[in-house]
Amino acid sequence: MKKIVVLVGSNRRESINLKFARALGRLASGRLEFDFADLSALPMYNDDDLAQPPAAVRALKEKVAAADGVLFVTPEYNRSIPALLKNAIDWVSRPYGDNDWAGKAAAIVGTSPGVIGTATAQMHLRTIMISLGGTLMGQPEVFLQYKEGLFDNENAVTDEGTEMFLNGFIDRFVGWVDVAQERVAA
Ligand code: FNR
């Protein structure tokens, strides 16, 4: 089964994006294996540390390099992505010439209590991922407005229409991972 590294752009215990990521993992079971990256131990990016990268950085780079694809589940902070996520992306893109995002199948989703459901943050992240050479899935876009109770304690999606839509997203991503891997092999 294809292995997907999941980067959640929030380290808040009650993060709605973490809940969303877990719900997607449950929906995807049997189709994709989710491997959650721990971004909380990453120091702030510093070129000076590249000669001897901290263990958390090495672990993240290795995880991304070994994965078949990557899924970003991001909150929106002031119309962009949180620094936590940008910091992780920057680390994995370096040192120069060893950018682990290049050619990697990628998809972006996010949830917010606001009606635009992280759309603006996702547009920024799209620009970043394309500039890093990630093979980014364009459709479907998932701008999810969070409502209390959307996910239950077992990570199930409680709204039938949303569940169907997210299942469709996962189907497309499964196919997209194959497309990205064929491109790298060609
Ligand atoms: C926010 N929030 C927010 N929401 C939004 O839809 N657009 C935005 O630009 C912002 N900006 C913003 C900035 C900062 C610094 C914080 C802390 C929050 C609200 C945000 O969507 C809400 O706090 C979510 O619950 C954050 O996601 P997690 O941490 O629950 O996954």
CATH label of the domain that carries residue 154: 3.40.50.360
Q: How many domains does the chain have?
A: 1
Q: What is the pLDDT along the chain (186 residues), one digit of tens a residue?
A: 999 999 999 999 999 999 999 999 999 999 999 999 999 999 999 999 999 999 999 999 999 999 999 999 999 999 999 999 999 999 999 999 999 999 999 999 999 999 999 999 999 999 999 999 999 999 999 999 999 999 999 999 999 999 999 999 999 999 999 998 888 888
- Residue 87 CA, ligand 1 centroid: distance in Å: 17
Q: Which domain holds residue 151?
A: 2-185
Q: Whose CA is nearest to atom 17 of ligand 1?
A: 77
pTM: 0.98
CA distance 80 to 74: 10
- Could you tell me the distance, in angstroms and rounded to a whole number, from the CA of residue 177 to the centre of ligand 1? 29
Cβ-contact 10, 84 below 8 angstroms: yes
Atom of ligand 1 nearest to the CA of 78: 9
CA distances from 151 to 133, 158, 178 (A): 33, 6, 29
Dist. CA 149 → ligand 1 center (Å): 18
